[in-house]
């Protein structure tokens, strides 16, 4: 299986749990024989879209590279921290550039054509609150937007979630347990 790991933490510096989770997943996937490519959104020269003309025009080189990587992949893994209930703005801007009309979807004569069917995805999101609180109290609105309105609308299904809560002050044992879970998911390409 070809797997694209999208590191969505806006700070490309090492040391964040998101980086460790993505590296554990990617390393185990490679060791299991999967093809793996990685994109670091924090290192990309992401700009904001300001008009429909910018969105429908040709994508910048870094966004075209993201599109090519998505077309190559069978499975996408997006790793990011929860900021204000959703994904960081830099990741959202990257997705807006990459998941453009005519690449990810298009309105056809019979309705919306979804161009990324046959691919699956996993969202790995870290947060300061307990993960069940995000789902039960807040309705997981930020990851639902990504799962349904971006990935699902483009035809990517299934989209599964891994929510890592209480990351501030996480013990070394809990951190290692999460890294172990990511390695298991990476090895099976899930």
Q: Tell me the CA end-to-end span of the chain in Å, nearest whole number.
A: 10
Mean pLDDT of the chain: 94
pLDDT digits over 13-27, tens only? 878 999 999 999 999
Whole-model pTM: value is: 0.95
- 88: domain CATH number is 3.40.50.360
Average pLDDT, integer, range 98-124: 92
For 160-188, give one letter per residue: b (16+ CB within 10 A) or e: ebbbbbebeebeeeeeeebbebbbebbbe
* Residue 80 domain boundaries: 2-188
Domain count, the chain: 1
Is the omega angle on the peptide bond into residue 158 within 30 degrees of 0, that is, cis? yes
pLDDT digits over 128-163, tens only? 999 989 887 777 888 989 999 999 999 999 999 999
- Asked if pLDDT for residue 4 goes beyond 80, the answer is yes
């Amino acid at each position: 299986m070809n797997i694209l790991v999208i590191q969505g933490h806006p700070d490309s510096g090492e040391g964040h749990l998101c980086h460790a989770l993505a590296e554990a997943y990617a390393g185990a996937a490679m060791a299991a024989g999967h093809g793996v490519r990685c994109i670091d959104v924090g290192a990309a020269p992401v700009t904001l879209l300001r008009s429909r003309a910018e969105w429908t025009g040709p994508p910048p080189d870094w966004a075209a590279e993201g599109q090519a990587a998505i077309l190559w992949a069978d499975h996408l893994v997006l790793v990011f921290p929860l900021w204000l209930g959703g994904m960081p703005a830099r990741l959202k801007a990257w997705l807006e550039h990459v998941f453009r009309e005519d690449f990810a979807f298009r309105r056809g004569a019979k309705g919306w054509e979804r161009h990324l069917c046959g691919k699956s995805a996993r969202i790995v999101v870290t947060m300061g609150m307990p993960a069940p609180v995000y789902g039960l109290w807040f309705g997981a609105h930020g990851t639902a937007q990504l799962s349904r309105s971006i990935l699902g609308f483009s035809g990517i299904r299934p989209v599964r979630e891994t929510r890592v809560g209480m990351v501030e002050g996480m013990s070394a044992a809990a951190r290692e347990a999460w890294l172990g879970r990511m390695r298991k998911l990476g090895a099976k390409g899930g």
